[in-house]
Chains A and B, each alone.
Chain A
């Protein structure tokens, strides 16, 4: 069984993601930004996660696999995760908008499973 823990996920805008929209959503800049999950160093250490390790996030409505990067300085509190808005973060939203037209897109309860090291790049 993979190591699992509960977090609150905050998807949000970043300037890199904004730049990536103009460069093209299929370009590497945008794709890398929306695939990076920010986590505090404290939580990374507690769960034995190194930069680039892949984790699975599971919400009530879906699951995604992403690579972990440490959050900058004290930007994130412990127990909170951040990811740039995009295809992946939206997969964790539900279809119900509770009569508002807006799916709950921030403050999503997620379970995190540690998957392990990134796949080594092949050479030659």
Chain B
């Protein structure tokens, strides 16, 4: 069957389109497209449906300079001037665009000797630090689907953030070694709230806020049969030691355990220490049975951003290229920090919205420096930008590659062409002009 069909009534059907809203990156969506509008997205969840049906062509200029409509070439020129003349420029975002665009953005960062950071730093960046310290016992979602008979969600609420996680990968599917699907799996949710995901679990363990580290180390101790003070455990974690003991017995009895963890760990006090404790627990469990873990990644291609920045610089996020070679130091070279400390003197924000999601000191500084923003939607970040590019949407208008949360690369199958430029094309234009301005290549006739 062809990927794209046209029934002759101006209704185009795109088979197996890829949804890039969340890290599940579902690539089995059938889109019904009329002109420049998707009218139906079969098999998409509530988030995917909203993603596909709300990205039509908006009647906005493709480029704004100082808030005024401008020719695209003028925007590219202004953006290149800002980046080429900055002393400590920041390139940030990248989790909602293709790997191809991410690659160009990193190149620009390299030419200008800037910082390259992605939304990973305010998502699973602490987990990225933990991977370097502990390692990751990992698996693809396909392995989870076919083998995982004990599924633990820790500080993660996929029922709201990844609505097809349960049905496509982790709980409901009948797998190669799980012929009865859900009946063959035990699901445990550990969280401070009884979330929608907790209601789908066999066991819900409500822990005290900010006590993940203590709870995970309790389990590490129990795995090794170390004696523990039950009163202290309950006082610290809010959960009776008998509950943790029961969980450990179940974990050891599992044939293939999986821990999916979320920002309940990484955004809470402890951060990378919390993720390290969970990774270490997973590693420990492999003395008794097979256990793996995966962070539940949020944005559609945040995993791609980790991969692209890693293969270009050796580090996944928060990379400083100012000395001509990459340096990595979260807290020093990460976007939130360099803005809150008022260090960056220019920025290029690609497909993210720090003006809505960063701390107030970081937002105030970003608003005070020249910056460039790319987004298919109008956001607080595009509204304040010196140069704002209204670009085509990846996956809906733009082809390319994205990475699912388990590091599996998946191709995009766009639904319709956009009259707007892709961020890839604009970034390539900026890269070319930056190289000219820096004297790396001669300026083309008519420029400079």
Contact = CB atoms under 8 A, between A and B. Distances in A.
Interface of A: 8, 10, 12-15, 18-19, 21-26, 61-62, 73-77, 80, 82, 85-87, 90-91, 93-107
B331 A97 contact: yes
Interface in B316-374: 317-318, 330-332, 334-337, 340-341, 353, 356-363
Nearest to B127: A102
B160 A95 contact: no
Contact of B160 (A15, A22, A94, A96): A15
Given A95-B340, A105-B122, A22 B272 contact: no
Given A13-B298, A103-B122, A107-B268, 8 more contacts: A21-B377, A25-B353, A96-B340, A100-B334, A101-B121, A102-B266, A102-B330, A105-B263
Interface stretch (B79-87, B187-195, B223-231): B187-195
22 contacts: A8-B209, A15-B160, A18-B21, A21-B377, A22-B50, A22-B53, A22-B54, A22-B55, A23-B54, A24-B54, A25-B377, A80-B193, A90-B357, A96-B340, A101-B336, A102-B266, A103-B336, A104-B268, A105-B122, A106-B268, A107-B268, A107-B269
A95 B359 contact: yes
B47 interface: yes
A50 to B, nearest CB: 23
B71 interface: no
B51 interface: yes
A91 B268 contact: no
Contacts of B55: 22
Contact of A106 (B129, B264, B332, B380): B264
A87 B356 contact: yes
B378 interface: yes
B161 A13 contact: yes
Contacts of B117: 101
B359 A75 contact: no
A22 B393 CA distance: 11
Contacts of A25: 353, 356, 377-380
Contact of A95 (B122, B209, B298, B336): B336
B267 A106 contact: yes
B125 A80 contact: no
A85 B357 contact: yes
Contact-size category for B: 35 or more
A22 B395 CA distance: 14
A26 B355 CA distance: 13
B359 A61 contact: yes
B304 interface: no
B157 interface: yes
B106 to A, nearest CB: 17
A100 B271 contact: yes
A122 B331 CA distance: 48
A62 B377 contact: no
A61 B161 CA distance: 27
A100 B379 contact: no
B173 interface: no
A38 B360 CA distance: 23
Contact of B380 (A15, A85, A87): A87
B268 to A, nearest CB: 5
B210 interface: yes
Contacts of A61: 359-360
B46 interface: yes
Contacts of A95: 336-337, 340-341, 359-362
A101 B337 contact: yes
Contacts of A12: 157, 160, 193, 263-264
- Which one of A15, A85, A101, A102 has the greatest number of beta carbons of chain B within 10 Å? A101
Interface string B370-394: 0000000111100000000000000
A8 to B, nearest CB: 5
